[in-house]
Amino acid sequence: MPRGAVNRSLPEPPSFLLAAHCDLNGIFRGKRVRAAGAEKVLKAGIRMPMSSIGVDIWGTDVLGNALFDRGDLDGIVEPTGRGPIPLSWTETPALLLPMWMRLESGAPFFGDPRRVLADVASRFAARGLTPVVATELEFYLVDPNEARARPLTPLPEAHEGAGDTIYCLQELANVGPFLDDVYAMAEACGVAVDAAISESGPGQYEFNLVHGPDLLRVADDTVFFKQIVKNVARRHGLAASFMAKPYANHSGSGLHVHFSLLDGEGRNVFDDGTPAGTDLMRHAVAGLLEAMHDSTLIFAPHRNSSRRLRPGTLAPTTAAWGYENRTAAVRIPGGPNPARRIEHRVSGADANPYLVLAAILAAALDGIEAGIAPPAPTQGNVYKAAGRAIPPDWRQAIETFETSELMARLFPADFITMFATCKRQELAVFEAEISELEYRSYLHSV
C-alpha cells in the first residue's frame, strides 16, 4: 500500500479475539481466541503463566524473580471490563479484549502493572479523593525500512539540530491523512483525544489525551493510544517510535502527566482561588520531589531512556519544581484557578503508563499524608540551579529502585522484585554486547 493511503474498511464480524494483558514493559501479551470461544473467555478469562507479565523487552523469561522457584504458576487473566475494542494488529478482522491478572485465590497479582495502579487508586478512594488525570504522549514517525531512526525526509545540511520544527503547521499538514486516521481509530476504541502538535524534532508529534476522573481508564487509553499510533502508521507505510531518544541531536520523546484532585464534593483541592494553589498541592509536590530519585527506573526504564534525561535535552535532570517553568521536573501550569493542577515531566514515552501514573500518584499521596513542604519553587533555568540529580545511569536507577525504603513503602514487594530483576537481566544483555563503536575505537589502535 503506498505511503499516505490506508484501508479504512474492516470486514464484519471479527473472526477472532486477541485476549491480552500488558506486561511490565507496556507490551501486550496474550492469546488469539476464535470468535466462537469468545463468550467463554469473557466469562471465565484464560490461564497464563504469571511470569508472562515479567518477561524482558525481548520476551525472554526472567529467571531471577522467584516465580520459577514457585513452579512458574498460572495466573487467571480476566477481562478488565473494557472492550472488546477494534484495536487490530493486521488487516484480518479482530478485536482486542483487554485483560489483567489475578492469583488463583482471587487476590490481585501485583506483578501486573494495572493491578499496581488499581492499588494506588484505592488509596485515594479511601481518603475520599479522586485524581483527575491527563497524559501527553510524544513520538517520532520514521522510515520503516531502516534499522536506525531515519526521518521520512532528508534534513537540511545547516547544523546538527536542523530539522526541528516545533509547532509547525506544515509538518501537521504533511501527515494529515495519518493524523485523521489516528483520531478515527481512537474514537472507534473509545479513546478521547484532544489536540495534536508538531513537536521539536524532525517528524516528532505529540497528542494530548482528554483528562478524566477514572484513573484506570486514563491509563488504559494511554496504553491503547500507543498501539493505535503504531497500527495507523503501519497502514500508511510509516513506522511510529516511542523510543525515548532515537536521535542524539534532537529532543527525546516524553510522557507528561497532568493531575489534580477532587474531594467528595467535586472541588479541586489544589485550588485556593490564587495562582499559588493550596498547601495540600505543595505537599503533593514535595512527595513527588522526594520520590523522584528512587523511582527514576519507572520513568526511564530502558537502556536508551537515560539519554533523554541529560542537560540540554529539553528534559528534566534534577528534582525541582516551579510555577509555569517548563525546565522543571514538576511544573504548576498557569490558567484559571479552578483548573489548578500539577504537571510531571520526567517520564519518557517508552515507559509503561500504568507504572508511570502509579509512581506519580503514590508519591503525591505520600507527600500529602506526611504533610511535608517542598523547597522554594525554582525560577528561571532549572538546568543552572542546584538540586538532587535524577539518576543518569541505568544501573544506578535499578539499584536505587530495588533497595529504596521509600519504594518499599509505596509499592507491593512482588512488583519491586519483578521489575528490578527484569531490568537487571536487560542490563546484563546490553553489557555482554560489544558495540561497533568499541571495535572502531580499539580493535586496531591499542
CA distance 89 to 231: 6
User: Above pLDDT 90, what percent of the chain?
Assistant: 72
Q: 500507543: which residue's cell?
A: 226
CA distance 234 to 261: 38
**pLDDT of 93 over the 90 cut:** no
**pLDDT of 87 over the 90 cut:** no
Residue 413's pLDDT is 94
pLDDT, average across residues 72-81: 92
- What residue type is assigned to position 411 of the chain? F
- Torsion sign across C-alpha atoms 123, 254, 313, 325: negative
- Cβ-contact 374, 286 below 8 angstroms: yes
pLDDT, average across residues 31-36: 86
The least confident of 28-32, 148-152, 163-167, 321-325 is 163-167
Q: Which of 395, 303, 313, 301 is nearest to 348 (CA)?
A: 301
CA distance 99 to 117: 14
pLDDT, average across residues 300-318: 88
Q: List, for residues 269-285, the tens digit of each pLDDT value.
A: 999 999 999 999 999 99
**pLDDT of 374 over the 80 cut:** yes
Q: Please return the burial class of 264, using the count of CB atoms within 10 Å of its CB with bins 0-12, 13-18 and 19+.
A: exposed
Residue 67's pLDDT is 78
User: Above pLDDT 70, what percent of the chain?
Assistant: 92
Q: Which of 294, 323, 300, 301 is nearest to 313 (CA)?
A: 300
**pLDDT of 6 over the 60 cut:** no
Helix (H, G, I), strand (E, B) or coil at 409: helix
pLDDT, average across residues 169-189: 91
CA distance 158 to 122: 53
Residue 322's pLDDT is 94
pTM of the predicted protein model: 0.93
- Cβ-contact 411, 116 below 8 angstroms: yes
DSSP letter (8 states) at residue 337: G
DSSP letter (8 states) at residue 39: H
Which domains does the chain show, CATH number per domain?
120-412 (3.30.590.10)
The least confident of 3-17, 114-128, 154-168 is 3-17
CA distance 138 to 117: 22
Residue 11's pLDDT is 40
